[in-house]
Chains A and B, each alone.
Chain A
Amino acid sequence: MGFVKGLKCRECGREYSVDPIYVCEFCFGPLEVAYDYNGIKGVLTREKILSRPQNLWRYRELLPIDGEPTSGLHSGFTPLVRADKLGSYLGMKRLYIKDDTVTHPTLSFKDRVVAVALSKAREFGFNTVACASTGNLAHSVSAHGAAGGFKRFIFIPATLEKSKIIASLVYGPNLIAVDGNYDDVNRLCSEVANKYKWAFVNINIRPFYAEGSKTHGYEIVEQLGWRSPDAVVVPCASGSLLTKIWKSFKEMKEVGLIHDVNTKVFAAQATGCSPISAAIKAGVDVIKPVKPNTIAKSLAIGNPADGYYATQVVKESGGHGADVPDKEIIEAIKLLARTEGIFGETAGGVTLASAIRLIESGHIDRDALTVLCITGNGLKTKEAVVGHTGEPYHINPNLKSFEEALEKINSK
């Protein structure tokens, strides 16, 4: 029932059969899943999508599995929130939040990619799954892997926020905390993956895993009433999500679900780790790796694998890039929470703060139908806002004490 033709090198176009491989043997370019779009056209209709359960598998013809999905059966289909209060604060008439802070089961968009990766890992016959992670992926592989009965090896930088470490350990994986940053962890994992025949979701399963990100984009289009937005602001670590959202819009056009795509794609980064936005702003294609230094740990990838492609998407779509200091990230987290009641993680603060800069600089038109991609839940990175929120009013358990506090509140 699958519509996958095979794997294809993004650089030189060489074709490969469907296997747990990720790099072109000839030029080291990344491999990507190729589909039979003509076959999908007419089979995957709006009516068929609408008739299916509200999870990411409603777009299964555009996802790289052969049989029935076995992981993430409740993941995806998160709310697209019309953000009128935030919009009016920013002078935007049509502003939306794609709210992946409530993705089932681990509260970040990583549940989308892991749903696809583990379904595929099972088809390949693996019984051990692994990943290198900045936190969210660790949670998702730990949780989906537990539900699927996989053995799990999770590699993280030892400096990760404590709450993120606990939120992996609770699912009972083998958690390996590496003394080093994410790029060090990744380098180690590629050596581990060479030696042990496991399904490393972001290494040898990467071509399949990355396709799960497209569902974030498909849902935006469906939830907007079958149209792509005028502008979309996407947080970038490796740059993968940004390229896949663009791919999702183009695929929906390709298979006849929408008529055209006039979306400008904007990249959002933290200034302390901004190799992609730096390249975009300088107008160059070469990504210069950096050593990350930002509170946005889920974006702290100094050597972004898809950075080059992200710059190409931004250029092709007529978008731009922005990066923001930690102080603005924290203010934006609070602004989103205060105006829309959504508590995003640090990456969410990066997205909103970058959007604000792009609106103020005129790169995003105030009339444009704009979607901000909020990819993870703030409860995972509470440390980031500690000391930056208000304080509770401490009172004694009697009415007099309460009314004294009330007086202080009312006089503010």
Chain B
Amino acid sequence: MPVTVKIPVPLQRLTQGKEEVEGEPGTIISLINSLDQKYPGFAERISEGGKLRRFVNIYVNEEDVRFKKNEETEVRDGDEVSIVPAIAGGI
């Protein structure tokens, strides 16, 4: 079973409108880089120099990767990865 990656609206132009794509297991950063092969421009939108951009939140099975190993967080077969822009709210 591949990794399922949920694509937010601002990136769907790159994925030809797809809300969900499939990726290879590995780490978050290797996943992003492999998706960049398929969807050129994908990696630079959400990462810079191998690090996630400040306003990008990535969740593996609903857990924020910043509570794990950031871009080095492991993703396995069957995992679900969500890419979510930072959201306002609260005070």
Residues of A within 8 A of B (CB): 11, 21-30, 109, 131-134, 137, 182-184, 186-187, 189-191, 194-195, 202-203, 206, 209-210, 235-238, 240-241, 288-289, 291, 298-301, 303-306, 308, 347, 375
Question: Are A134 and B53 in contact, with the CB atoms below 8 A?
Answer: no
B76 to A: closest C-beta gap in Å = 20
Q: Answer whether A202 and B88 are a contact pair too, CB < 8 Å, given A25-B10, A28-B56.
A: yes
Instruction: List B contacts of A209 (CB < 8 A).
Output: 88
Question: Are A238 and B88 in contact, with the CB atoms below 8 A?
Answer: yes
Listed from nearest, the 4 A-B pairs whose CB atoms lie closest are A237-B90, A305-B86, A202-B89, A23-B85
B28 to A: closest C-beta gap in Å = 15
Question: Are B84 and A301 in contact, with the CB atoms below 8 A?
Answer: no
Question: Are A237 and B45 in contact, with the CB atoms below 8 A?
Answer: no
By the criterion of a CB under 8 Å from any partner CB, how many residues of chain B are at the interface?
28
A347 to B: closest C-beta gap in Å = 6
Residue ID in chain A nearest B64 by CB atoms: A289
Interface centre among A195, A202, A300, A305 (most CB of B within 10 A): A305
B31 to A: closest C-beta gap in Å = 17
Instruction: List B contacts of A132 (CB < 8 A).
Output: 87, 89
Q: How many A-B residue pairs have C-beta atoms within 8 angstroms? Tell me.
A: 112
Residue B25 CB within 8 A of the other chain: no
Question: Are B88 and A305 in contact, with the CB atoms below 8 A?
Answer: yes
A14 to B: closest C-beta gap in Å = 12
A209 to B86, CA, bound (A): 15
Residue ID in chain A nearest B12 by CB atoms: A194
Question: Are B9 and A194 in contact, with the CB atoms below 8 A?
Answer: yes
Residue ID in chain B nearest A27 by CB atoms: B53
20 examples of A-B residue contacts, CB within 8 angstroms: A23-B10, A28-B10, A28-B86, A29-B54, A30-B55, A30-B86, A132-B87, A132-B89, A183-B64, A187-B57, A187-B84, A194-B8, A202-B87, A202-B88, A202-B89, A203-B88, A206-B87, A238-B91, A298-B90, A298-B91
Instruction: List B contacts of A299 (CB < 8 A).
Output: 90-91
A212 to B: closest C-beta gap in Å = 12
Question: Are B62 and A240 in contact, with the CB atoms below 8 A?
Answer: no
Q: Answer whether A28 and B64 are a contact pair too, CB < 8 Å, given A134-B89, A190-B84, A237-B90.
A: no
Residue ID in chain B nearest A241 by CB atoms: B91
Within 8 A of A (CB), among B34-58: 45-46, 53-57
Question: Are A109 and B19 in contact, with the CB atoms below 8 A?
Answer: no
Instruction: List B contacts of A184 (CB < 8 A).
Output: 62
A289 to B13, CA, bound (A): 29
Residue ID in chain B nearest A242 by CB atoms: B91
Question: Are B64 and A191 in contact, with the CB atoms below 8 A?
Answer: no
Interface centre among B13, B19, B89 (most CB of A within 10 A): B89
Instruction: List A contacts of B62 (CB < 8 A).
Output: 184, 187
A299 to B10, CA, bound (A): 28
